[in-house]
Amino acid sequence: MLKGIPKILSPELLKVLCEMGHGDRIVIGDGNFPAETMGKNAIVIRMDGHGTCDVLEAILKVFPLDTYVEKPVSLMEVVPGDNVETPIWDEYEKLVAAEDARGKKAIGYIERFAFYEEAKKAYAVIATGEGALYANVMLQKGVVV
């Protein structure tokens, strides 16, 4: 056991977060995200019993967001014509603001298929059991100063 490390962060996930370098990205996928397909060239970590907010909050405690890009946090845009509410995005804004002074300004939005293409280049993909729609989030790692 270690002090100060959120208990949800498994040894496997902590190792991956430590291995990642500046500019590397990690995807936290909701329960519908094709984690194994998108993560063919990445490390896929299963966290099926957890929601994206809990995972995001824990990761942001130890993971610096990239300060050299305008939007180090990316969310998958709602497909035009989908009549879907995304209240989870409000929660993401609060979690990001708690750890990064840019707050909501650090969050950008990527069209669905462009998000998939970017996810294929990620260092790691986390598969959660999140039931909210459009709850996928991608983080770009910064540096510890």
In SS3 terms, the chain reads as CCCCCCCCCCHHHHHHHHHCCCCCEEEEECCCCCHHHHCCCCEEEEECCCCHHHHHHHHHHHCCECCCCCCCEEEECCCCCCCCCCCHHHHHHHHHHHHCCCHHHHEEEECHHHHHHHHCCCCEEEEECCCCCCCCEEEEECCCC
Is 145 a member of any domain? no
Q: Mark whether 116 is an active-site residue.
A: yes
Active-site choice (66, 92, 123, 134): 66
Q: Is 50 a catalytic residue?
A: no
Percent of the chain with pLDDT over 90: 98
The pTM for the full model equals 0.96
Q: Would you say residue 13 lies in a domain?
A: no
**Is residue 62, in this structure, part of any structural domain at all?**
yes
Predicted pLDDT of residue 2: 83
- The stretch 85-109 carries a mean pLDDT of 98
Q: What is the CATH number of the domain that holds 36?
A: 3.40.1650.10
pLDDT(1) > 80: no
Asked whether residue 133 is assigned to any structural domain, the reply reads yes
Kindly state whether residue 61 falls inside one of the protein's structural domains. yes
Number of structural domains found in the chain: 1
Give the domain extent around 84.
23-140
Choose the catalytic residue: 24, 50, 109, 116.
116
Average pLDDT rounded to a whole number, residues 121-135: 98
Tell me, yes or no, whether 93 lies in a domain: yes
